[in-house]
């Protein structure tokens, strides 16, 4: 039998309920980057469509 034991200490009880986490609005720079990325993606898709039309069907 052990000579001593460790007592399990429970964490303190929460006094106030936690507030709902609100999403922080995105910064101006983040919004600008998103716009540039979206335009670039659209341009890339347009380029792929045009190149597909130009290709000749394989025989």
> How does pLDDT run across 5-51, given as a tens digit for each residue?
778 888 888 777 666 666 777 788 899 999 999 999 998 888 776 65
The 3-class SS string of the chain reads: CCCCCCCCCCCCCCCCCCCCCCCCCCCHHHHHHHHHHHHHHHHHHHHHHHHHHHCCCCC
Whole-angstrom Cα distance, residue 10 to residue 30? 43
Average pLDDT estimate for 46-59: 62
pLDDT band at 52 (very low <50, low <70, confident <90, very high): low
pLDDT at site 55: 56
The answer to whether the pTM exceeds 0.75 is no
Whole-angstrom Cα distance, residue 21 to residue 17? 12
Whole-angstrom Cα distance, residue 41 to residue 37? 6
């Amino acid at each position: 039998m052990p000579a001593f034991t460790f007592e399990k200490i429970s964490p303190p009880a929460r006094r106030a309920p936690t507030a709902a986490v609100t999403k922080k609005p995105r910064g101006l720079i983040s919004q600008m980057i998103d716009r540039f990325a979206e335009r670039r993606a659209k341009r890339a898709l347009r380029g792929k469509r045009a190149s597909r039309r130009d290709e000749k069907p394989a025989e």
